[in-house]
């Protein structure tokens, strides 16, 4: 509301228009005044619908201007807003995960931008006359109404009265966990959590901001915490414009991101290590892209998974070439339940550290084997899960700290002020046949470091087996550079020089690793890129889902169809 009054004509959100052939055209921008004004009309329509306690608004599609209007309107009307992973709505089959999310959140209104794209998912959730299905264009058979029709509602004093009734405990939205260790759980996001993220942002960054001058480009899904951090703390708080990136750091889709970065010079940039891995390769081959990317950049940040030392060094070299200076790089850590938990309050000099606790939160490191589990409580920690008292009770310890299931170690135990290093996800760890525990996070990072820059990511396996092995994906461009040939991923994975290079790197890794639980006895290269539930919304590889979906590759790995140390 404040930004709409101070910078009414400044663009708030922009996305390239969708063309008939499925490609994207020019940028379509929407101002602060337009978005907030439409959100007030929609909020009135929602209030008129008289939602019952426990009902919500579910969104199946990704980032868009209409999605943002619905997000803001739901908050104005004090109705929980539930953005679910787009993958759930496009999965097909019986839509088990989507149905599960709907059963928990009880949507009274379900929105998707395209009827054509989401019709099967909408039908899977529809059938109840009390559930309103909304799309940008109405379904031909009348199964949905248009989003624009809700914006015709006349605003009354009820909207301002509802806004005035918002409290820190108001249930603002629900974010579903990835479900990597079971069914997704609906994490309650309160207004205190959302505003707490903004307060953390302001406590950490001291640069002066002129409203209406900053630009952000992001592909990060709104079904996860990126929707809070990007929209609330960065865009709305800074009076900036969010340019929606329809590209992704996967083969065949990254070109759209590069196209956008040729036009948009971001003020700050936050993404996943997989995105930066693709970006450095593109910028090393395109000086103009490099110079535009760094021209207005204040800093870079990343979360979710570890950024490799190779990519970190290459980013810094590119920054120096473009500006004469290194770019500040900040590492962050958080979960669906905690939002921001750790961040490096100073630019990192090497990858690994995730810093110190964000302002407003208290972190406890609880002993867990050779490491420590991260436990946290504070203003950005969720009170629990929707309609799941058992899971809520199990998630907190006797002192009220949320138990993340993730591990950390001190950078230097004698100097805690230097912060901690992320030490993997405890739920991913497993025992070998011998009963020896395998610390998956540490083994994965050590393997990626040993095979840098050839290996993009890896899945560590061996539960109940005699030894540790791995499945992994090549960085195609770096493998091509090694050979000096533009070969296909299939040709690269079977090329003798690539296999010899990896075999020798595995041998060096195992020689330095130490015990059996830290050595990797073989690596099988995967050609098909990770997709669907194999990639969590935060961008990291879901170790267990890859193994479940690629059981044949897992069997082949242990039958000798893999690269061994040489």
Residue 305 has pLDDT above 70, yes or no: no
Residue 74 shares a structural domain with residue 144 = yes
Sign of CA dihedral 374, 375, 378, 383: positive
pLDDT at 182: 64
CATH classification at residue 90: 3.40.50.980
307-351: pLDDT as tens digits? 888 889 999 999 999 999 999 999 988 888 998 889 888 888 888
CA 28 to chain CA centroid, Å, is 25
* Bridge pairing between strands 81-83 and 56-59: parallel
pLDDT at 169: 97
Residue 140 shares a structural domain with residue 68 = yes
pLDDT at 180: 58
CATH classification at residue 356: 2.30.38.10
Q: For residue 565, tell me if it sits in a domain.
A: no
Predicted confidence band of residue 41 (pLDDT cuts 50, 70, 90): very high
Q: Report how far residue 220's alpha carbon sits from residue 334's, in angstroms, rounded to the nearest whole number.
A: 15
Contact 217, 269 (CB under 8 A): yes
Residue 47 shares a structural domain with residue 115 = yes
What residue has token string 């079904």?
A: 223
Give the C-alpha distances (Å, rounded to integers) separating 198 from 75, 108, 476.
16, 29, 39
Predicted confidence band of residue 504 (pLDDT cuts 50, 70, 90): very high
Q: For residue 150, tell me if it sits in a domain.
A: yes
Residue closest to 452 by CA, chosen among 307, 290, 321, 317:
307
- Write down which residue in 166, 188, 218 finishes a domain: 166
Q: Report how far residue 301's alpha carbon sits from residue 225's, in angstroms, rounded to the nearest whole number.
A: 14
Residues for the chain: how many in total? 566
Question: How many independent structural domains does the chain possess?
Answer: 3
Is 94 exposed, middle or buried (CB count within 10 Å of its CB: 0-12, 13-18, 19+)? exposed
- Write down which residue in 140, 166, 192 finishes a domain: 166
Task: Please name the helix (run of DSSP H) or strand (run of DSSP E) that holds residue 216, with its range, or none.
Answer: strand 215-218
CATH classification at residue 554: 3.30.300.30
508-555: pLDDT as tens digits? 999 999 888 999 999 999 998 888 778 766 667 888 889 999 999 999
Contact 65, 39 (CB under 8 A): no
Residue 347 shares a structural domain with residue 399 = yes
pLDDT at 149: 97
Which residues are CB-neighbours of 5 under 8 A, at least 6 positions away?
none
Residue 359 shares a structural domain with residue 467 = no
Task: Return the structure tokens found at 365.
Answer: 């490191």
Residue 32 shares a structural domain with residue 152 = yes
Q: For residue 202, tell me if it sits in a domain.
A: no
Contact 438, 432 (CB under 8 A): yes
- Write down which residue in 427, 452, 476 finishes a domain: 427
Task: Return the structure tokens found at 36.
Answer: 């907030």
* Bridge pairing between strands 132-135 and 145-146: parallel
Residue 482 shares a structural domain with residue 413 = no
Residue 438 shares a structural domain with residue 386 = no
**Read out DSSP for 340-374?**
EEEE-SS--SSSSEEEEEPTTEEEEEEEETTEEEE
**Read out DSSP for 257-310?**
HHHHHTT---SEEEE-HHHHHHHHHHHHT-HHHHHHHHTT--EEEE-SSPPPHH
Residue 181 has pLDDT above 60, yes or no: no
Q: Report how far residue 142's alpha carbon sits from residue 164's, in angstroms, rounded to the nearest whole number.
A: 36
Strand, helix or coil for residue 457: strand
Structural domain including 403 reads 331-427
115-152: pLDDT as tens digits? 999 999 999 997 788 899 999 999 988 899 999 999 99
Q: Report how far residue 507's alpha carbon sits from residue 511's, in angstroms, rounded to the nearest whole number.
A: 6
Residue 360 shares a structural domain with residue 475 = no
Give the C-alpha distances (Å, rounded to integers) separating 305 from 73, 115, 432, 536.
33, 35, 24, 11
Residue 161 shares a structural domain with residue 39 = yes
pLDDT at 50: 95
Q: For residue 433, tell me if it sits in a domain.
A: yes
Strand, helix or coil for residue 415: coil
Q: For residue 61, tell me if it sits in a domain.
A: yes
Q: For residue 470, tell me if it sits in a domain.
A: yes
Contact 34, 270 (CB under 8 A): no
Measured CA angle at 373 (ends 371, 379), to 5 deg: 145
Task: Please name the helix (run of DSSP H) or strand (run of DSSP E) that holds residue 25, with its range, or none.
Answer: strand 24-31
Number of Cβ within a 10 Å radius of residue 157: 8
Mean pLDDT of 29-54: 96
Residue 206 has pLDDT above 70, yes or no: no
Residue 446 shares a structural domain with residue 515 = yes
Contact 421, 352 (CB under 8 A): yes
Strand partners, 30: 13
Strand partners, 173: 81, 189
* Bridge pairing between strands 371-378 and 361-368: antiparallel
Contact 432, 465 (CB under 8 A): yes
Expressed in angstroms, the distance from the first to the final Cα of the chain is 64
pLDDT at 256: 96
pLDDT at 84: 96
What residue has token string 């290194």?
A: 326
Quote the DSSP letter at residue 60.
-
Task: Return the structure tokens found at 401.
Answer: 């700290």
344-377: pLDDT as tens digits? 888 888 888 899 998 889 999 999 877 899 999 9
Which residues are CB-neighbours of 478 under 8 A, at least 6 positions away?
281, 453, 454
Residue 94 shares a structural domain with residue 54 = yes
Q: For residue 100, tell me if it sits in a domain.
A: yes
Strand partners, 340: 334
Least confident of 103-112, 251-260, 387-396: 251-260
pLDDT at 304: 53
Q: For residue 42, tell me if it sits in a domain.
A: yes
Is 366 exposed, middle or buried (CB count within 10 Å of its CB: 0-12, 13-18, 19+)? middle
């Amino acid at each position: 509301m404040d930004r709409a009054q101070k910078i009414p004509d400044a663009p708030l959100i922009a996305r390239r228009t969708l063309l008939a052939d499925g490609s994207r055209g020019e940028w379509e921008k929407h101002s602060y005044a337009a978005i907030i004004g439409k959100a007030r009309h929609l909020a009135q329509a929602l209030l008129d619908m008289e939602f019952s306690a426990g009902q919500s608004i579910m969104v199946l599609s990704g980032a868009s201007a209409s999605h943002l209007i619905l997000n803001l309107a739901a908050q104005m009307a004090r109705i929980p807003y539930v953005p679910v992973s787009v993958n759930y709505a496009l999965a097909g089959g019986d839509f088990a995960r989507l149905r599960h999310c709907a059963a928990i959140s009880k949507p009274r209104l379900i929105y998707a931008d395209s009827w054509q794209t989401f019709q099967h998912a909408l039908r899977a959730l529809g059938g109840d006359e009390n559930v309103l299905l909304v799309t940008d264009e109405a379904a031909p058979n009348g199964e949905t109404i248009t989003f624009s029709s809700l914006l015709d509602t006349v605003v009354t004093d009820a909207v301002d009265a509802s806004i005035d009734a918002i409290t820190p405990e108001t249930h603002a939205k629900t974010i579903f966990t990835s479900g990597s260790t079971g069914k997704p759980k609906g994490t309650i996001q309160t207004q205190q959590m959302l505003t707490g993220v903004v307060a953390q942002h302001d406590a950490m960054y001291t640069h002066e901001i002129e409203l209406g001058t900053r630009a952000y480009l992001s592909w990060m899904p709104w079904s996860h915490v990126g929707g809070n951090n990007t929209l609330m703390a960065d865009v709305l708080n800074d009076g900036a414009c969010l340019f929606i990136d329809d590209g992704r750091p996967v083969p065949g889709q990254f070109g759209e991101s590069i196209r956008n970065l040729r036009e948009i010079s971001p003020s700050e940039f936050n993404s996943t290590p997989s995105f930066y891995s693709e970006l450095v390769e593109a910028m090393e081959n395109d000086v103009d892209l490099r110079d535009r990317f760094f021209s207005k950049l204040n800093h870079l940040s990343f979360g979710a998974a570890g950024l490799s030392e190779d990519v970190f060094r290459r980013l810094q070299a590119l920054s120096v070439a473009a500006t004469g200076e290194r770019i500040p790089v900040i590492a962050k850590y958080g979960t669906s339940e905690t939002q921001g938990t750790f961040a490096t309050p100073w630019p990192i000099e090497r990858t690994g550290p995730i810093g110190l606790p964000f302002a407003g939160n208290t972190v406890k490191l609880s002993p867990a084997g050779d490491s420590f589990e991260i436990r946290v409580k504070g203003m950005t920690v969720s009170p629990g899960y929707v309609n799941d008292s058992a899971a809520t009770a199990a998630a907190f310890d006797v002192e009220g700290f949320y138990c993340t299931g993730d591990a950390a170690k001190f950078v230097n135990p004698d100097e805690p002020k230097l912060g901690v290093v992320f030490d993997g996800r405890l739920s991913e760890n497993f025992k070998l046949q011998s009963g020896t525990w395998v610390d998956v996070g540490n083994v994965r990072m050590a393997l990626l470091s040993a095979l840098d820059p050839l290996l993009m990511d890896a899945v560590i396996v061996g539960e109940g087996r005699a030894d540790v092995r791995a499945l992994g994906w090549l960085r195609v461009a770096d493998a091509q550079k090694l050979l000096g040939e533009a070969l296909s991923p299939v040709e690269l994975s079977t090329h003798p020089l690539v296999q010899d290079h990896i075999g020798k790197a595995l041998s060096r890794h195992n020689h330095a690793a130490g015990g059996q639980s830290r050595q990797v006895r073989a690596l099988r290269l995967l050609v098909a890129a990770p997709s669907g539930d194999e990639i969590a919304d935060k961008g990291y590889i879901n170790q267990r889902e890859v193994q479940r979906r690629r059981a044949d590759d897992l069997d082949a790995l242990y039958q000798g169809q893999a690269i061994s140390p040489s």
